[in-house]
């Protein structure tokens, strides 16, 4: 990690509210921006988090809080991970060291954290729909509040943004700030465009424009008609020389583009946007990683950073999945990879080393990614779609309607499955087992070693039906390998266990995924109480009818109790499905088993130092207490 000179904090420490920030003289904004960048680098290096995007929006966020007044005015960020500066300027600087920590500040905007966070956002492309809701409700209620929506240009690859634009009304107090930092949305090229942009940033431009319009409209009899004619001629001339753009075609006023890292220019343009008193798009161009050379040169490496204490070079399930996929692609030219703006993070960009044409990054468009995969598959290709579990939620209908219903053998690689520390409730992968379990024609694999991952990839590749392979944001755990796979994997996937019938455990824990480590920790303490407990580690969940038969055969022949353990939501999950099948098919009674899973709640760590498993009520301590109760 390259060094960065920490600044002496003079102004940030005085900001306990937006009013305190606005009391700082304008000429000190440059010094404040340096302080903010220094603190962003210091804290994200220590705690992990999104650095490059926040470095890019420093001046923009400062200008927003200079021009608008939260919480009366509403500021919505897309995605909420670029809100660290916003948190500092709204009275949360003293808590900054707790960012993304148990009981600390969220890594995203959070309605329960501050009145200045009017809307939570952990997924992209939701902001404008929400902002439109705020602006419309203010209009209906007679409020003069403004709604400001800050959208990175990458979010415009998400369909919801365009659905919301299609519903924007002209007469709303809605300011849409397009933060262009990677790709060009509208081509603003040529000398006329550059000169127009410069002209619009001059302090007298808008004043003259308003005065001219007012003068023309006051001319008796012909004033209003003359004003409309002049506006029409101006628009026609601009379209001929400059070209219209998408946003103006949608009926929005358009200002920009300007340098979004020029504080004075941004503040000026936002004030002018505010005076228009209508729906307006302000186009800014910012630099990701601004002010920190390594992040400027490689912003992708400083997007989602891991905490300094966990930075390592070990491989991961994501990486190993990509390597296995590339190997399959070498053998079969029909194999291709699809991701939604997560090529490197999910590992599927490995396929580019085999054939770049078979790698498809469709942007932040999960629904499209899945139906696109269905189309490829229906025409003979073998697509592997890599998505985080939390983002797969957006494509539920597509999995049902476009893939499973048509029995198309697409392979869904579900990354970040299970509980995930750091990013909070928006990024836990705790719902996919429940919602995928309800879908016919699916097989669900849950590998927890690299060998079982590769076997799942191979079986899914050979399947004639759609398959799901879910795995955690982790590396292989050697203790799990030694405990459950001492001789490697030389069989079809099903399950592994760490007991034999002769042991006759009184309780058997049936689980899957990385939570098996909590079960193993509990097991060591439970034997000290004289209770024998075994563990069955599932590698495949669905089809549940087949699994229940195999599981029943693997259970000890004594009257053991079963604890179904999972780090996913209980309702509709593995435990409920398996217990139901075993009651139906094998006469299991309700007093023979118990389910320990995440209750009907979203999981947030609210206590300092609390682990995700403790917060979810599925930690080793919870397991131990449940097993001891069952054994009585």
Confidence of residue 38 (pLDDT cuts 50, 70, 90): very high
pLDDT reading at 311 higher than 50: no
Q: What is the pLDDT of residues 418-463, one digit of tens each?
A: 999 878 889 999 999 999 999 999 999 999 999 999 999 999 999 9
Count of C-beta atoms within a 10 Å radius of residue 474: 18
> Domain 317-470 is of which CATH architecture?
3-Layer(aba) Sandwich (3.40)
User: What mean pLDDT do residues 304-317 have?
Assistant: 66
462, with CB counted inside 10 A (0-12, 13-18, 19+), is exposed
Report the pLDDT value the prediction gives residue 185, as an integer from 0 to 100: 33
Q: What is the pLDDT of residue 607?
A: 82
Predicted confidence (pLDDT) per residue in 198-211, tens digit: 545 555 555 555 56
Q: Which of 76, 101, 100, 72 is nearest to 86 (CA)?
A: 76
pLDDT given for residue 144 in this prediction: 96
pLDDT greater at residue 194 or residue 229: 229
What pLDDT is attached to residue 194? 47
Burial class (CB within 10 angstroms; exposed 0-12, middle 13-18, buried 19+) of 257: buried
pLDDT digits (tens, 9 = 90+) for 124-178: 888 999 999 999 999 999 999 999 999 988 888 888 998 999 999 999 999 999 9
> Three-state SS for 154?
helix
Mark whether 464 is an active-site residue: no
pLDDT, position 305? 67
pLDDT, position 403: 98
> What is 252-316 written as a DSSP string?
-EEEEEEETT-HHHHHHHHHHHHHH-S-EEEEEE--TTTT-HHHHH-GGGGSSBPPGGG------
Question: What percent of the chain lies above the pLDDT cut of 70?
Answer: 86
> DSSP states of 496-551 as a string?
EES--GGG--SEEEEE-STTHHHHHHHHHHHGGGT--EEEEEESEEESHHHHHHHH
Average per-residue pLDDT for the chain? 87
Which position among 59, 350, 366, 483 bears the catalytic label?
366
* Segment 229-247 mean pLDDT: 55
Please, which pLDDT band fits residue 275 given cuts at 50, 70 and 90?
very high
In this prediction, residue 327 has a pLDDT band, given cuts at 50, 70 and 90, of very high
| Tens-place pLDDT, residues 575-620 | 999 999 999 998 888 888 999 999 989 988 888 788 999 999 999 9
Q: What local confidence, expressed as pLDDT, does residue 211 receive?
A: 60
Domain 12-184+256-302: assigned CATH number = 3.40.50.970
Res 240 pLDDT > 50 = no
H helical segments located in 71-178 = 84-87, 127-140, 159-165
In the prediction, which pLDDT does 191 show? 41
Identical fold for domains 317-470 and 494-631, yes or no, is yes
Active-site option among 92, 200, 288, 416: 288
What pLDDT was estimated at residue 408?
A: 98
Cβ proximity of 143 and 57 under 8 Å: no
Fold of 494-631: Rossmann fold (3.40.50)
pLDDT at site 189: 34
Question: Is 458 annotated as catalytic?
Answer: no
- Indicate if 288 belongs to the active site: yes
CA distance 455 to 448: 11
Task: Kindly state the average pLDDT of the residues 320-347.
Answer: 96
pLDDT of residue 223: 63
Predicted confidence at residue 501, as pLDDT, reads: 60
Q: Is a pLDDT exceeding 60 seen at residue 487? A: yes
Q: For 501-522, how does the pLDDT look when each residue is reduced to its tens digit (9 = 90+)?
A: 656 788 999 999 999 999 999 9
Looking at the predicted structure, is the pLDDT value of residue 195 above 50?
Answer: no
Tell me how far apart the alpha carbons of residues 464 and 452 are, in angstroms, rounded to a whole number: 20
* Active-site choice (92, 173, 285, 394): 394
CB-based contact 128:160 (threshold 8 Å): yes
Give the residue ranges of DSSP H helices in 349-449.
Answer: 366-378, 389-392, 396-398, 432-437
Q: Each residue of 112-121: pLDDT tens digit?
A: 999 999 999 8
pLDDT band at 560 (very low <50, low <70, confident <90, very high): confident
Domain layout of the chain by residue ranges: 12-184+256-302, 189-244, 317-470, 494-631
């Amino acid at each position: 990690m390259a060094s960065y000179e920490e600044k002496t904090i003079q102004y940030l420490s005085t900001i306990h509210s937006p009013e305190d920030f606005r009391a700082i003289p304008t000429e000190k904004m440059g010094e404040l921006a340096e302080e903010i960048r220094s603190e962003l680098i210091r804290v994200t290096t220590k705690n992990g988090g999104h650095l490059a995007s926040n470095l890019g929006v420093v001046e923009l966020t400062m200008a927003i809080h200079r021009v608008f007044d939260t919480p009366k005015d509403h500021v919505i960020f897309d995605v909420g991970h670029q809100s660290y500066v916003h948190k500092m300027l709204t009275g949360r600087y003293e808590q900054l060291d707790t960012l993304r920590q148990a009981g600390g500040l969220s890594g995203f905007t959070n309605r329960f954290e501050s009145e200045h966070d009017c809307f939570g956002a952990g997924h992209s492309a939701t902001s404008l729909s929400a902002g439109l809701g705020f602006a419309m409700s203010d209009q209906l209620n007679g409020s003069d509040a403004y709604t400001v929506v800050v959208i990175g240009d990458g979010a415009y690859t998400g369909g919801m943004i365009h659905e919301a634009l299609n519903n924007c009304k002209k007469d709303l107090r809605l300011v849409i700030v397009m933060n262009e930092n990677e790709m060009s949305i509208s081509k603003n090229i040529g000398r006329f465009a550059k000169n127009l942009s410069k002209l619009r940033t001059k302090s007298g431009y808008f004043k003259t424009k308003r005065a001219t319009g007012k003068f023309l409209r006051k001319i008796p009899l012909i004033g209003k008609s003359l004003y409309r004619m002049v506006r029409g001629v101006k628009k026609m001339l601009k379209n001929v020389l400059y070209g219209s753009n998408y946003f103006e075609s949608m009926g929005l006023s358009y200002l920009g583009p300007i340098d979004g890292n020029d504080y004075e220019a941004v503040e000026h343009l936002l004030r002018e946007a505010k005076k228009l008193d209508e729906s307006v798009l302000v186009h800014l161009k910012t630099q990701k990683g601004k002010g920190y050379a390594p992040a400027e040169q490689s912003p992708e490496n400083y997007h989602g950073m891991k905490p300094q204490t966990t930075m390592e070079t070990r491989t991961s399930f994501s990486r190993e999945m990509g390597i296995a996929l590339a190997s399959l692609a070498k053998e079969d030219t029909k194999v291709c990879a699809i991701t939604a703006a997560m090529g490197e993070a999910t590992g599927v960009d490995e396929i580019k080393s085999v054939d770049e044409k078979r790698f498809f990054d469709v942007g932040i468009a999960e629904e499209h990614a899945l139906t696109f995969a269905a189309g490829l598959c229906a025409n003979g290709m073998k697509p592997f779609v890599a998505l985080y579990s939390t983002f797969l939620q957006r494509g539920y209908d597509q999995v049902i309607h476009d893939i499973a219903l048509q029995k198309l053998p697409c392979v869904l690689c579900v990354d970040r499955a299970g509980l995930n520390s750091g990013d909070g409730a928006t990024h836990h992968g705790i719902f996919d087992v429940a919602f995928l379990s309800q879908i016919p024609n699916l097989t669900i694999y849950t590998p927890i070693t690299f060998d079982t991952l590769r076997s799942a990839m191979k079986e899914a590749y050979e399947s004639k039906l759609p398959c799901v392979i879910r795995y955690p944001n982790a590396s292989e755990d050697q203790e799990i390998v030694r405990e459950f796979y001492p001789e490697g994997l030389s069989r079809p996937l099903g399950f592994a266990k760490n007991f034999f019938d002769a042991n006759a455990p009184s309780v058997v824990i049936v689980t899957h995924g990385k939570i098996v480590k909590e079960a193993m920790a509990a097991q060591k303490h439970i034997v000290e109480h004289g209770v024998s407990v075994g563990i069955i580690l599932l590698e495949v969940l669905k089809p549940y009818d087949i699994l229940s038969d195999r599981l029943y055969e693997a259970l000890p022949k004594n009257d053991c109790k079963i604890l179904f353990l999972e780090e996913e939501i209980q309702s509709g999950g593995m435990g409920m499905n398996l217990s139901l099948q075993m009651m139906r098919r094998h006469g299991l009674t309700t007093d023979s088993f118990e389910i320990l899973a995440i209750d009907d709640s979203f999981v947030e760590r609210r206590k300092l130092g609390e682990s995700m498993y403790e917060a979810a009520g599925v930690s080793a301590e919870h397991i131990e207490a449940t097993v001891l109760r069952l054994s009585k």
